[in-house]
Every structure is written in structure tokens, then in C-alpha cells.
A and B are shown apart, each in its own frame.
Chain A
Amino acid sequence: MNQSSQLAGDESADRGFLVVMEHADLGYGKWRVLSDVNLSVSKGDFLAIVGPNGAGKTTILKTMLGIIRPLRGNVAKAPGVRFSYVPQRQSMDEVYPLTALEVALMGRYSLMSPIGKPSRSDLAFVLSCMERVGIEDLADRQFRELSGGQKQKTLIARALAAEPDLIALDEPTNDMDVASEYAIMELLRDLYDSQKITIVMVSHLLNVVVNYAKTIALVDGGLKTIGPVSELVSSENLFRVYGIPVELVECGTRRVVLAGR
């Protein structure tokens, strides 16, 4: 039996869960990617789903968001909880002649009347979201002409426009230079700290994750383990997942993950 449902109001309120996966098998059609996944995201989490390429990280995220249904088991959302999604920016079809503002406005659509155009207040709110992420001057630029970092910020502004309880991001700093990667991660940290938005991100970049996320889920052929970054990120655990020696080095207030000896 597969099921996407809502948590009972009391249950979610008591434990602060926004979404819970129980004994869920995940995949596409007949293709099972992960089996028996148990995972919950609580209000105020900053969860990073980490693992090698092809481990099934994105599949977990998409199932959590309701984009795909679990093949078996249960995925339940708290009543009234609102999710926003920031997909991999490379998946955006660049043939569409949309401005950054038009892309960001899409985040507002689910809150608007199904009929008609965005109101002035919708427009003002979306512009304030663009300002929040520092791209208000790009509103009239074509989305396809923006740099990778600018596109990512536009997609984050779109996610904020939906006034979400939880933002889910798929590889938000993939293929970025160091400066853009730092800017995006600092922006996410700021949103987490100042707006108390729950964040779930998928990444294969361990150096990014260990310095920002609070909780980590290690995935490889199944959900291996989940817990606080400070407890779970160890050379032993990373060896179990990646199959090669991994060293964790403290560098001032930051941590660096080094592969190999």
C-alpha cells in the first residue's frame, strides 16, 4: 500500500513534525530506488540529505514534497503545512522567455485566486522576496541570461514568495564557484536564523553540509542513518557510506572533509 496523507493535527503539533515518512519504499514506476525509509522533519530543522551520486537523495526529497508517490509505506504532511521547492537550476528550461520577476512570481501562484493575474500586493511581496535575497535589480532581466548564482537566488526568492513553512532545495550549490557557493549558503543560514524557516537540502558536497546543516541523513542504497551533524559526521560513518577513507579536519570554526589518506 502506498499513501501520501496528512498527519493528525494533535500528533504533528505534539512532536512538531512537518512531514513523516514511515517504512516507505521510494522510486519511479516499477523501479525501486530506496527501501523502508523512515524519516521525519520537524519545525526548525536544517536537514541535509547526503550521499554519493545516484544514492537516492533527490528521490527522498521529491517523495517528501509529494512530487512522486511512495511505492509502499506512508508519507504524511502536517495539516496546513506549506512546502516550497528549489529544484536544480539546470533543470529549468531556458527556452522560456521569462524575466526573473516572472519566475519568482510563480511561487505566489498557489496562494492567489485560481483565476486572473497577480495583484499589486502579490507583485510587491514578490519584489520584497527578491530584495531579501539581493536580486531586486535583476527583476526585468531574462532568467536564462542570469549567472548560476543569480538563478539560484531567483529560485530561492520564488520559494520565499510562497510563504513556506519548509523550503526543500536540491543541490543548491552544484557547479558554483566558491564565492557563489558561499553566498547561497550564507543566505540559507540567514533565512534559517532570522525567519525560522525549516530547511531540507540535498547535497553531495560534504564540505558545505558539515558547516551549515544541523541534522544530517546519510543515504546510500537506503537511509543509513540520521542525526545531528556533530554526532554523525565522523570518519567512520563517512567511510561506511562512501567506501573510502575520509578525514574530518577542524579549521578554526569551520570543518573540512578530506577524501583519501
Chain B
Amino acid sequence: MSEVFTVPFLRVAFAGGLIVGSLCAFLGVHVVLRRIVFVGAALAQVSSAGVGLALCTGANPATVSLALTLGGVAAFAVRFGNRRITQESIIGVAYALASAIAVLFVAKSAHAEAYMLNLLSGNILTITPGQVYLTVFLFAVTVLMWSLFQKQFMFSAFDPETAKAHGIRVAFWDLLFYVILGIVISFSIRVVGMLLVFAFLVLPAVTALLLSQRFVGIYAFAIVSAAVSTVSGLLLSYKLDLPTGPTIVVFSGILLLASSIVSKLRG
């Protein structure tokens, strides 16, 4: 099995998967706590619609995908005053529309269809060293923002009304959180695919929240959980010739199941 680590593209896949997984797991803690798990799914879908639009028009997929994702971010960041429409339903509308639009954009191009299929399930084995460096940079920026402004992010999310009454600019910090999330999702889905990004945003965070009650511990467990499932999934998929992304997600699910048993036993 050790020969896996001697294959250059596999080494890059390991590195990329570990960093994307850790970054999504870190942000995922706040995605889960803010109860916006499906914002991640919807943003990923909006991002893929952007890729579809770019393939259809010949524009740069990265740029169009990011622009559309940031548009979605702006819509999701608004706390709607309209009591007849919940934010949850807006997320559902965005998800359904973005999925349909993405399919329509690529319907007439075989090349685009293959590209989109790859985007959906992802192929971690095609990560390039350049993407790994960019992910490291994104991770560093995200952690830096968090260490500088953790107070504002936390107060705005936990108790927005009191934060506002105390002079915290809740709308700004919410928007900044969503912008960071949008950029990370938009970039990550082109590296590892929508399935893995969504899984990394949710499963490691839930695993960690079952195992620890302190934020340092929660971040650590989430990142370790994402890393262990990435390495195990990659090794197993190599050994058994299975699709890599789904194998990683299943491993992540097994860790979540184990952590829920540990949590139950602890009482």
C-alpha cells in the first residue's frame, strides 16, 4: 500500500484532499451551528450553474462560477423580514433553479456534459499542485479572518438581535461569513466535486460536535475526521478500484456513526 505515496499525482491528491477537507470541515462547524447546511448545497449548485454558463458561452469557468456564487451569497446573507417566505424556502428555490439551469446550459455540448458530471461527483485524483497551493492560501486566509474576528462572527450568529443592540454590525459580519463560504465552495467544488464539498461541510462538523463541547476541540475533531476519511478513502479506493469521492464520504459517515456511539456511551 505504501507505493501509493510514491505516485506523484496520488501525493498531490492526498495533499489537496487533506487541505480542502480541513478547510471545509473548519467552516462546516459554523455552517452546521448556523443551521445553514443546505446553503452549502445550494451555493455548490449555483457555482456549478456558473460553470455551465461559462462552458456555454466560452467564458472562464472559475470567474463566472465565483461571480454567480457571490450573487447567491448576497441573497442568502439577507435576513428576510418577510414572514411569509422563510430563508429555508429561498435556499430550496435557489437549489432547484440552479440545478435546472446548470443542466440546460450544458445540454447541447457533450464536452460540457462530461465536465459537469465530473464536477458533480468530483475527481480528487486530478488535483494539480497549483490548486493545492491556492487551497493552502485560502485556508490560511480563512483561519486568519477567524482568529481576528471570531468575536463578531460568533456574537452575530449566536444572538444577532442582542449583537445589533450592542452595536455589532451583524449584517456586515453575516455577509463576510457568506462571502468566505462562497469563495471556498466555488473553489473547492472544482477541485474535489460537489458531493465531497457538501460532505466535508457537514459530516466532520457533526462528528466533532458529538465529541467535544469546546471550540478548540470541535475544530480539531472536525479537521482530523476530514483528514482520516480522506486518507482512508483514497487508500481504499486505490486498493479496491472504487470511485474516490464516494469512498471518502462513506468513510466520513462511518466516523460519524462511531462518534455518535461514543457520544451515547458517554451519556
CB closest chain-B residue, reference A68: B81
The answer to whether A114 touches B158, judged by C-beta atoms less than 8 angstroms apart, is no
A residues near B, CB below 8 A? 28-29, 31, 62, 65-67, 83-87, 91-93, 95-98, 103, 106-107, 109-110, 112, 114-118, 142, 158, 162, 168
The answer to whether A66 touches B164, judged by C-beta atoms less than 8 angstroms apart, is yes
The answer to whether A85 touches B152, judged by C-beta atoms less than 8 angstroms apart, is no
Contact for A83 among B83, B152, B165, B214, CB less than 8 A: B165
The answer to whether B166 touches A116, judged by C-beta atoms less than 8 angstroms apart, is no
Q: Report the minimum CB–CB distance from B17 to chain A (whole Å).
A: 27
Contact for A29 among B81, B157, B159, B212, CB less than 8 A: B81
Within 8 A of A (CB), among B199-240: 209, 212-215, 218
A-chain residues with CB within 8 Å of residue B166 when the two chains form the complex: 83-85, 106-107, 109-110, 162
B residues near A, CB below 8 A? 32-33, 35, 81-83, 148-152, 154-155, 157-159, 161-168, 209, 212-215, 218
The answer to whether B33 touches A106, judged by C-beta atoms less than 8 angstroms apart, is no
Question: Which 6 A-B pairs rank lowest in CB-CB distance, beginning with the nearest?
Answer: A85-B165, A29-B81, A65-B165, A110-B166, A97-B213, A110-B167
Given contacts A97-B209, A109-B152, A114-B149, whether A31 and B83 have CB atoms under 8 Å apart is yes
The answer to whether A106 touches B154, judged by C-beta atoms less than 8 angstroms apart, is yes
Once bound together, how far apart are the Cα atoms of A91 and B35, in whole Å? 15
Contact for B165 among A84, A92, A112, A116, CB less than 8 A: A84
Once bound together, how far apart are the Cα atoms of A98 and B159, in whole Å? 12
The answer to whether A29 touches B214, judged by C-beta atoms less than 8 angstroms apart, is no
The answer to whether A114 touches B161, judged by C-beta atoms less than 8 angstroms apart, is no
The answer to whether A115 touches B149, judged by C-beta atoms less than 8 angstroms apart, is yes
B-chain residues with CB within 8 Å of residue A93 when the two chains form the complex: 33, 35, 158-159
5 new A-B contacts, CB < 8 A, other than A29-B82, A62-B161, A142-B213, are A86-B162, A93-B159, A95-B32, A96-B158, A110-B167
Q: Report the minimum CB–CB distance from A2 to chain B (whole Å).
A: 13
Given contacts A83-B165, A96-B33, A109-B168, whether A116 and B158 have CB atoms under 8 Å apart is no
B-chain residues with CB within 8 Å of residue A83 when the two chains form the complex: 165-166
Once bound together, how far apart are the Cα atoms of A123 and B184, in whole Å? 34
Q: Report the minimum CB–CB distance from A73 to chain B (whole Å).
A: 18
Q: Report the minimum CB–CB distance from A226 to chain B (whole Å).
A: 22
Once bound together, how far apart are the Cα atoms of A12 and B164, in whole Å? 23
Given contacts A87-B159, A97-B212, whether A109 and B151 have CB atoms under 8 Å apart is yes
